[in-house]
A and B are shown apart, each in its own frame.
Chain A
Amino acid sequence: MGIKWDEILITGDPIILGSQIAILLTSLGIIGGITYLKKWNWLWREWITTVDHKRIGIMYIVSAVLMFFRGGMDGLMMKAQTSRPEMGFLDAQHYNEVFTAHGVIMILFMAMPFLIGLMNVVIPLQIGARDVAFPQLNALSFWLFFSGAMLFNIAFVVGGAPDAGWTSYFPLAGKEFSPGIGNNYYAISLQIAGLGTLMTGINFIVTILKMRTKGMTLMRMPMFTWTTLITSVIIVAAFPIFTVALALMTFDRLYGTHFFTVAAGGSDMLWANLFWLWGHPEVYIVILPAFGMFSEIISTFSRKQLYGYKSMVVSIVAIAVLSMLVWVHHFYTMGSGALVNSFFSITTMMIAVPTGVKMFNWLFTMRKGRIKMTTAMLWSLAFVPNFVIGGVTGVMLAMGAADYQYHNTLFLVAHFHYVLIPGVVFAVFAGLYYWWPKMFGFMLNEKLGKWHFWLFVIGFNVTFMPMFFLGLNGAVRRAYTFSAESGFAPLFLLSAIGSVILAAGFAVFCYNIYWSIRYADRNISSDPWDARTLEWATASPVQHYNFAKLPEVKSLDVFWYMKKNNEGLTLKDEEIEEIHMPSNSGLPFLMCVAFGIVGFFLIFEWHLLAAISAVLIIAGLIYRSFDYNDGYHIHKDEIKKTESAWRKMEGKVNNHVS
């Protein structure tokens, strides 16, 4: 097999040596800490083997925050390198690796799991269900994501990082121009994580279609549920394309086929098309759930029903359809011809229409509302103007002829950061502040939250606004440095300063989590925001069976009317019935390990070892096929005890929202 032991660990770079030592120490620290506190058993029983959608959601969110840190560090390194002309902090190769890691991690291992985490926590509660349709599959989804993410994250210290950009265009990403194993990491780890995402998509479609509580028709679903449904449909329609594209890339790199290598009749453009056939819908996979969360938050804190509910539904469906018809706008300059470019210009601009409808709906929701300036609401308010900047520059980029000027410049980079940061990052922060009490039973500190908000939003604008102007002046993306004569230096420096403010905002966020875990008031209402949807109709943190009695839905914003009409809020003893719940399982975690091992061997092209360890995956599948564990029932007494405990406390709680 020719294992070259001396090439497994990357050596000779002080930054990477430092990272290796840091990773080693952190791992030892975590293992030591858990052993010292005797928490292994607890970790296995309560978290690793859990099939509870709320805990899986929390694990997704924790992973996403960690990945945010990693991707953010990569961003800061890029900003440090370009802060002055001819900086020598990173060399060209290292810079390539850093921006590749930044892109992949932020999209696939930060934005996606953050949103899927919040979906996991919230969606079953919003539709009045006790779990998702396939709880164990849900755990498998998480662990496959985790396996892929960890594989990708070790790349830069073990074997070499991918360096062909997050789009990994051929021919650069092929074996000829990237001979090391770095790009194998891209192909294999994204494949493993992608499988998990596909399963999540299927799971949520079935959950939302089949498990809605009595009376919740499709047009009575909260907007976040709607966007999750449509997102899941896009996942199922788009992810298999990525699966194929990555598999073909793997074949090209590992087994010498010629899909994308021009030499024997392959087509490098085929990769660009397949990648963006998935990649553009992917943009909407991350933006639609975010739209859903803003809808919930704006409606709650304006204390009004969402304006234009039906047009919201129509526009998300329209966006989903259009998302499949715009992929060529990512490579107008590759010479598809005027007719093709015009077609895709028009479809791209058409997306602005349903998005504009949504913008106006949010504004009209706020109109004449009694707006409460909570942290979650501030994020949603900041989203509107910032996202519009991203959207309008997007329409500029959509014009095929004009795009020749902007293509591959920092203008584009600024554009998609203006879409993704206000669109997704503001949303997940808003969602986290909003649903945090539901997840943990205490709130994040609002004052620190506002520091977090202002630092982050100001830092974001200072970082990315200059990049529009740099791009228009011709500064190209993915260039590791620039000359003093270019005149770019002042704006690059401003952008670098902005990134430090941005990072300070993130630091306040982390401190806020720490502070709130230690000091926040535990005696709060289960409905601290006076909200409108069903997740607030049960305890905080939510008991593992979610609802003692499944609620009945008579209108949109059902919980609001339950409170207003004072019906369905109490629970009589005779209404309590035994509840059936699924059992925990260690199998998803073991599959994560198995996929990790097989993936690792494949990345290093040790085919024999990979084939042997693939037996582990097959063994897991066989075990699952013969697994007839039918779950367990929760006794009435236990439910009675849990329910009276939290219901008794309501009315004696402290209010933290004015």
Chain B
Amino acid sequence: MSANVNTSLPLEYQTEQSRMNILGFWIFLGAEIVLFATLFSVYGVLYKNYAGGPTHQDIFMMKEVMIQTVLLLTSSFTMGVAIWEMRRNNKKGLIGWFILTLLLGAGFLFMEINEFIHYVHEGATMQTSAFLSSLFVLLGTHGAHVTFGIFWATMVIIQIVKRGLTPVTARKTFIIGLYWHFLDVVWIFIFTFVYLKGMVL
């Protein structure tokens, strides 16, 4: 199974098992799209059901959301640079850009947690109305994915430090790259359909 090595391909694609893992992860991302699409449609059904509680305009803080967005979009760019460094076989560059990505991600998370705390102080909790239930769960699911990604990537960075760039560590890094960009795409949809739409309506 691990036979069939093709060294003309990029490191992460060289073994048959790696190619299968990457395809499997793409399919998993397909499932994730369905998962987030379902959450978006739940939000789409419930987003005007304030039940007498706070509305979008009452609680959203656009400046903070803009900072979150910039942090996360930048982290997607630095993730891309990290993979580019990996392709150049530059372990140091890879690790540096990778860590920068995670720091940006952590910054995003920090902002998001603050946002949640702010909402709760405003009296907007998950239990207040159907709108807020769907908002918290949609944002929370995305945030949980980012959190999971940071821990997961930390494991992989440790493995790159210990083992260097091998077909296995390269594949793991590449897959996290896919995951990270996916979270970015989801955020763009959240930004558009939750924040922008919520502010203009």
Contacts and interface: CB of A to CB of B under 8 A. Distances in A.
A522 to B, nearest CB: 31
Given A210-B20, A248-B137, A631-B2, A202 B31 contact: yes
A243 B46 CA distance: 19
B46 A257 contact: no
Given A133-B20, A265-B51, A267-B46, A240 B130 contact: no
A622 interface: yes
A131 B19 CA distance: 16
A237 interface: yes
A361 interface: no
B77 interface: no
A582 B1 contact: yes
Interface residues of A, number: 47
Size range of the chain B interface in the assembly: 35 or more
Interface in A227-255: 236-241, 243-245, 247-248, 251, 255
A243 B45 contact: no
A10 B91 CA distance: 60
Given A256-B127, A264-B129, A628-B168, A270 B45 contact: yes
Main secondary structure of the interface of B (DSSP, over half): helix
B35 interface: yes
A194 B110 CA distance: 32
Contacts of A130: 1
B34 A209 contact: no
B51 A259 contact: no
A646 interface: no
Contact of A241 (B30, B38, B126): B38
A626 B134 CA distance: 36
A245 B128 CA distance: 20
B193 interface: no
Contacts of B2: 580, 630-631
Interface string B18-61: 01110110011011101100110010011001110100000000
A266 interface: yes
Contacts of A198: 31
A71 B100 CA distance: 54
Interface string A199-213: 001110110011100
Which of B21, B42, B49, B168 counts the most A-chain CB atoms under 10 A from its CB? B42
Contact of A258 (B20, B133, B159): B133
B156 interface: yes
Contact of B131 (A209, A255, A265): A265
B126 A259 contact: no
A259 B129 contact: no
B31 A257 contact: no
B154 to A, nearest CB: 10
A622 B51 contact: no
A628 B2 CA distance: 13
A258 B31 contact: no
B3 interface: yes
Interface string B116-139: 000000000011111101101100
Contact of B20 (A134, A581, A625): A134
A118 to B, nearest CB: 22
Interface in A623-645: 625-626, 628, 630-631
A274 interface: yes
Contact of B134 (A210, A239, A259, A580): A259
A273 B28 CA distance: 24
A580 B1 contact: yes
A585 to B, nearest CB: 15
B155 interface: yes
Contact of B31 (A240, A266, A267): A240
A265 to B, nearest CB: 3
Given A133-B24, A582-B1, A274 B130 contact: no
A194 to B, nearest CB: 11
B42 A258 contact: no
A580 B3 contact: yes
Nearest to B172: A625
Nearest to B134: A259
B84 interface: no
A251 B133 CA distance: 9
A265 B52 CA distance: 9
Contact of A270 (B3, B23, B46): B46
A257 B127 CA distance: 5
B152 interface: yes
A244 B38 contact: yes
Contacts of A237: 30-31, 34
Given A248-B42, A622-B155, A625-B152, A266 B24 contact: no
Contacts of A580: 1-3
A154 B20 CA distance: 38
A632 B16 CA distance: 16
Given A257-B137, A264-B130, A206 B1 contact: no
Contacts of B128: 264
Given A243-B35, A580-B2, A206 B42 contact: no
Interface of B: 1-3, 16, 19-21, 23-24, 27-28, 30-32, 34-35, 38-39, 42, 45-46, 49-51, 53, 126-131, 133-134, 136-137, 152, 155-156, 159, 168
* Cβ-closest 6 pairs across A and B: A265-B49, A265-B130, A257-B133, A240-B35, A265-B51, A240-B34
19 contacts: A133-B20, A134-B20, A202-B31, A206-B20, A238-B34, A241-B34, A244-B35, A247-B137, A248-B137, A251-B133, A257-B133, A258-B51, A264-B128, A264-B129, A265-B46, A265-B50, A267-B45, A270-B46, A581-B1
Given A265-B50, A266-B49, A625-B159, 18 more contacts: A202-B28, A202-B31, A206-B27, A210-B20, A236-B30, A236-B34, A239-B31, A255-B126, A257-B127, A258-B51, A259-B134, A259-B137, A265-B129, A266-B130, A580-B3, A625-B156, A628-B168, A631-B2
